[in-house]
Amino acid sequence: MELEKIMSAVESILFVSGEPIKLARLLKVLDFEKADVEKSLESLREKYAGPQSGLMLIYKGDEIQLASRAENAQFVEQLVKSELQDSLSVAALEVVSIIAYRGPISKPEIEAIRGVNCNYTLRNLLLRGLIERSDNPRDSRGYVYGISFECLKILGVEDVKKLPNYATLSTDERVNLIVPQNTK
């Protein structure tokens, strides 16, 4: 496969991941030769090195992450601050509802239910203190998300099981077809 296509695939995976990803996992997901993936990473690094790019690759041991450049931090910070002060978006309400009724639940499971990437939304919900992230007992490489005490306080319920229609919605068969129900 030509280097440009490999580079495009690597860039997409790093973007969608939103978190550091191990080179071994990248190789497994992409199923390309290690030398080709390493060449594409170097090409991406060179591409992002120019002053016109707001992105950069960060390396830490065997992990790689796509991130915004430090000199753009003030702009990114303004966006995050405005999002934390604004009302929750429809997407955020969907994600917090999925987590409340189906949690603990992994990011891939949330994305399977919604059909779209939810990195940004999860990050904002974490920053607002509405959800909590913990290690995934079923997959040591990922996390699961649950509703926070703060969110329960805001909703005025003492337990997620007291949410409206919890018994029905937490076991909905249509969702079970997409994501098997977690044992709580």
pLDDT in tens, 37-77: 999 999 999 999 988 999 999 998 889 999 988 888 888 87
In 3D space, the residue among 109, 89, 103, 88 whose CA is nearest the CA of residue 163 turns out to be: 103
- Residue 143 pLDDT > 50: yes
For 73, list phi and psi in degrees, rounded to 5. -55, -40
- Mean pLDDT taken over the chain: 86
Phi, psi of 66 (to 5 degrees): -90, 125
- Please give the average per-residue pLDDT across 4-17, as a whole number: 90
Number of neighbours of residue 45 by Cβ within 10 angstroms: 13
Please give the structure tokens belonging to residue 96. 């917090």
Residue 50's φ and ψ, nearest 5 degrees, are: -70, 155
| Cα–Cα distance for residue pair 29/45, rounded to 1 Å | 20
C-alpha 45/C-alpha 34 separation (Å) is 16
Summarize pLDDT for 160-176 with one digit per residue, the tens: 888 888 887 777 676 66
Task: Report residue 177's pLDDT band, with 50, 70 and 90 as the boundaries.
Answer: low
Compute the distance between CA of residue 97 and CA of residue 121 in angstroms, rounded to an integer: 12
**Cβ pair 96, 52 in contact under 8 A:** no
* Domain range summary for the chain, segments of one domain joined by +: 3-70, 87-178
Confidence of residue 184 (pLDDT cuts 50, 70, 90): very low
Is 3-70's fold the same as 87-178's? yes
Percent of the chain's residues with pLDDT above 70: 91
Structure tokens given for 55: 């992105």
Q: What are phi and psi of 129, to 5 degrees?
A: 80, 20
pTM of the model: 0.57
Tokens of 175: 């969702």
pLDDT at residue number 183: 46
Helix H segments across the chain?
A: 3-17, 23-30, 34-49, 73-85, 90-102, 107-114, 119-128, 149-155, 166-169, 173-178
Q: Is 87-178 CATH 1.10.10.10? A: yes
Domain 3-70 has CATH 3.40.190.10: no
Q: State the Cα–Cα distance between residues 74 and 81, nearest whole angstrom.
A: 10
